[in-house]
A and B are shown apart, each in its own frame.
Chain A
Amino acid sequence: MKFFKMLQYDLRQSFLEKPSKWLLVVLLSAFLFLRFTVDVYQYFLLELPGYLQIDPLSISFADVLLETVGGDFPYRGGDQQFTVPAAWLFVYMFCFYFTLSYARDDMARGGIQVVTRVRSKTMWWVSKCVWNALTVTCYFALLYGVLFALTWCTGKNPDFTVNARIFDAYFAYPLPSLERSQLAMCIALCVLPWLAAVAMSLVQMTLLLFIRPAFAYVFTGMWLVVGAYYANELILPNYAAGVRSITVGIYGFRPEVGVILSLAFILPSVFAGIVALRKKDMLPVQ
C-alpha cells in the first residue's frame, strides 16, 4: 500500500508538474513526420504529382518508423563516411533528459522525509525505477501514437510492410527480399527500441547515485554513439535501431538477444541501486 502511494506521488509529480513537456514530444513526433515527408519527396521528386505529395509511393507505418526513429547503419569501414544519426540520437537523448534528474532532485527535496516515514530505502528506489520505466513507456507510446495517427490521417498504410524503394533511397542499400511478419516488424521497430530505452534510462538513473547528472547524461550519449558506430550484439543501443534488426534482414540483431540484454541491464541496475542506496548517506545530497 505504501509502495503504491509512493509511486502515485512520483507519477503525479512527474506527469502533472510540467505537462507541457509532453507537448514537446508531440511536436517532436510531428516534426519527425514532416522531415520524413520532405526527405521522401526529395528522393522521388521527379515522379511525384505535386509538392510534398508522396502518397502514390504506398508508404506504411513501418517506413515512417524506420526512417524517423529506426537509426542508421553502423560504420562499415574503408573510405565510408560515418555520420552520427542526429534524429535517432535526439529522440533518445530527449527521452533520457525526461528521466534524468527527478530521482536525484527528489532525494534532495522530500525524498529523505519519505524514506524516513516508510523506513525503506529499497521501496523508495523501486518506486523510482517503476516511475522511470513508466515515463519511458509514456514517451514512446506518445511518439509512436502521434506518428501512427499522422500516418493514418494522411492516408498512408497503417501497417508494418516495408517499401523496398523507400528503404533503398533512404539507406542507400537494397532491402533483402524476406518474409516479414507484421508481429516481428512490430517487435523490431516498436518493442525493442522501447525496451532498450528503458534499460539505458535505468542505467543512467543508477549512475546518478555515483556521478553528477551531467556526466551521467554524457555517458548515456556516448553509449548511444558507440552503439551507432559499432555493430556488436553486446552493445545495447544496436537494438534501439530498428534498421539493424534481423527482421529487416541486413544485420543479424535478434530480438530475443535484445530482450535478454535489456533485462541484463535492467535487473542489475535495480539491484545496484538498492545496494548503493543502502550504503549511501542521503543527508549530504541535501
Chain B
Amino acid sequence: MRNKILQNTLRLELRKSFRNKAFLFSAAVGLVFVFMSAYSRISLEFSELGFRAFVDRQIEDLGYAKYPIVPMSTLYCEWIGGEVFSVAVSLFYTLLPLLAILPYGSSFSEEVHSGYIKVVISRCGRRTYFLSKFAAAFVSGGAVIVLPQTVSLLICAAVFPAVKPNVIYHQYLALHHWSMLGRLGNEHPLLFVLAFLGIDFVFAGLFACLAISAAFFFRSRLAVIAVPFLALLGSDMARSLLGHISYVEISPLKFLHAIPFENYTKTPVVLLWLLLLNLLTVPVILGKGCRYEVL
C-alpha cells in the first residue's frame, strides 16, 4: 500500500516537474545557447579560417591534402561541452544553476504558499512527499541541462567527424592527462562525453534540490531561486583565490564543462562539491522534511 502511494506521488511529481512552463522556458533558453554555439562553430568551420577551407587551400596549392589536420575540428572539441570560444558556452555554463533550478526548484516553496502541501501531506505522508519532491526536482533539473547538451552533440555529430583526439594536436582539444578523466577523453572520447553528461546531470539535479533545501530557510519564493544561484556565482568569483597555490578549478560553473576553460579539473574537488551538495540537500530535505509541520 505504502509503495503504491509512493509510486503515485512520484509519478504525479515527475509529471508536474516536466509539464510546466518553467521547464519549457529553461529548455528553450538552453537550446538557444546550443544553436548559438553550433552556428558559431559551424560557420567558422566553413569560413576562410576553418578547417574545410584550410584543406581546400592545401589541395589547391599542393594538388592533394598533405597534412589534413582532422583533429582541428572534431565532434569532441566543437559540441557545447567541448568548445570554449563562443559566448553561448559562457552563458550556458554561467546560467546553468538558474536553468536547472527554474523548472521545479521553487515548487516546494510555491506549494507552501498556496496551501497545496497541506492537502498532499495529509494524504501521502511527509516522507513520501519529500522523497518524491526530491526525485522530481533532481530528474527535471538534470534533464533540462542534459537535453540541450545532447542536442548540441547531435547537431555537431551531423557536421564534424567523431575523430579520436590526437595528442600531437592537443591544442585543439586542451584535455591534458592530469585533468579529470583526461585519459578516458583521449582514448575513448565518446565515453568521456557521456561521462560528463552524467556528471552534469547529477550536478544540475543537485542544484535544483538545493533550491528545495533553501525553501526550508527562506520564506520568499524568489529567494529559493536566487540564493543558490548567487551562492554558486560567488564560488565562481572565488576561483582565482587558490591560483597562486595550484591551478585547480574550484568553480562548478567551470568544471562542469568537459574541456577545462582555464584551470584543470581535479577529481577530489568534484567529489568534495558532490559531498557538499549532498550534505546541503539530502539531510535537509529528507531530515527536516520528515519533521515539517504543515499547520
Report which A residues bind B (CB closer than 8 A): 31-32, 34-35, 38-39, 41-42, 45, 75, 79-84, 86-87, 89-90, 93-94, 97, 100-101, 105, 213-215, 217-218, 221, 225, 229
Contacts and interface: CB of A to CB of B under 8 A. Distances in A.
Contacts of B243: 38-39, 42
Given A31-B238, A35-B241, A214-B22, 4 more contacts: A38-B240, A81-B85, A89-B233, A214-B221
Contact of B261 (A35, A83, A97, A100): A83
Contacts of B222: 97, 100-101, 213-214, 217
A80 B85 contact: yes
Contact of B87 (A39, A82, A93, A213): A82
Measured as residues with beta carbon below 8 angstroms from the partner, the interface class of chain B is 20 to 34
A107 to B, nearest CB: 14
Interface in B148-191: none
A133 B234 CA distance: 25
Contacts of B102: 214, 218
B91 A94 contact: no
Interface of B: 22, 25, 84-87, 90-91, 94-95, 98, 102, 106, 220-222, 225-226, 229-230, 233-234, 236-241, 243-244, 253, 261
B225 A84 contact: no
Contacts of A45: 244
B237 A35 contact: yes
B114 to A, nearest CB: 13
A81 B254 CA distance: 13
11 contacts: A38-B241, A81-B261, A84-B91, A86-B94, A89-B233, A93-B226, A93-B233, A97-B230, A100-B222, A101-B222, A225-B91
B236 A79 contact: no
Contacts of B241: 34-35, 38
Given A81-B85, A100-B222, A229-B87, A93 B240 contact: no
Contacts of A225: 91, 94-95
B236 A221 contact: no
